[in-house]
Chains A and B, each alone.
Chain A
Amino acid sequence: MLPAFGVEAAGGSAIRTGSPGVLHGMRSMLLQDEFGQIEEAHSISAGLDYPGIGPEHAYLAHAQRAQYESATDDEVIPALQLLSELEGIVPALETAHAIAWLVREARVSIAPGSTVLVNLSGRGDKDVAQVREILRGAK
């Protein structure tokens, strides 16, 4: 069986730092306090700025079929730029978390010559205005 990985936002990594609960009609891993009150997530990407994760992922983690890692906001922008420049594909900020993890792990936990299949789950044209603002601010 091929190893599978998921990459969460570091500020909203429900699988790595959350616990089971029920919110918005799903039982999954949630960021919550000791009383079951939901805690705020923080992420540069709107789609990951959420205090939980889809229950399919919680199940894959629980079943140890997939391993979950995280990427920080600071790693995500260069990852988006890299894929855009190398491949002409602008990934969504959410998707760029997977690229960021890949860049970090290449030659570390991923051996040279490996084949890695990345699911580009969303496109980044929706994010370009936000990324431009961030890059302007960084100058």
Chain B
Amino acid sequence: MLIRSKLPKCRTTEVAEIFKHNLTSMERKTKIHAEDGKQDLKITREFDLPLELLFKAYEEPNLVEQWMGTKVLKLENKKHGSYQFETTDPMGNKHGFNGAIHEFVPNQKITRTFEMENTRYPIQLEFLEFEKLTNDTSKLTIHIVYRSVVDRDQMLKLPFAQGINWAHNRLQDIVNNLK
């Protein structure tokens, strides 16, 4: 077809350029630092909250439940302690998460493992560091170490993949409703 032959080849790099431009101009409070070919990543976030309040959000089970949108079955904030969470997804399926707590220093740090139950994802190691910036602001740095580079990249892509899955489910719902 004539029109087709006249069209320039579409290159994904061109698309990527457009996005890159837009990314830099966006305000981003939460930052993800993930270097290519490494098995770890860092999540940083500055909060408009005093350090003590930020830490409390991680310490108190009822607060954790509120902001994480999960049920807290167990939360022992101490060395050799452990935690157990349970989340219900939009389809009503329950997902369990748990881990062991290795370090718990109030207003400073939490070191723990994280396991997604009944999945093929390996257990990960998390270093959470809490810092005071000013009297009213604080910073959280989460350093996550995965079993391998592939495992890290898979976890990074998970929310993206889920977005597509939900889209499929939503389309399925619409189709089912038409029947």
Q: Are A and B physically bound partners?
A: no
Task: List residues of chain B with CB under 8 Å of any chain A CB.
Answer: none
Task: List residues of chain A with CB under 8 Å of any chain B CB.
Answer: none
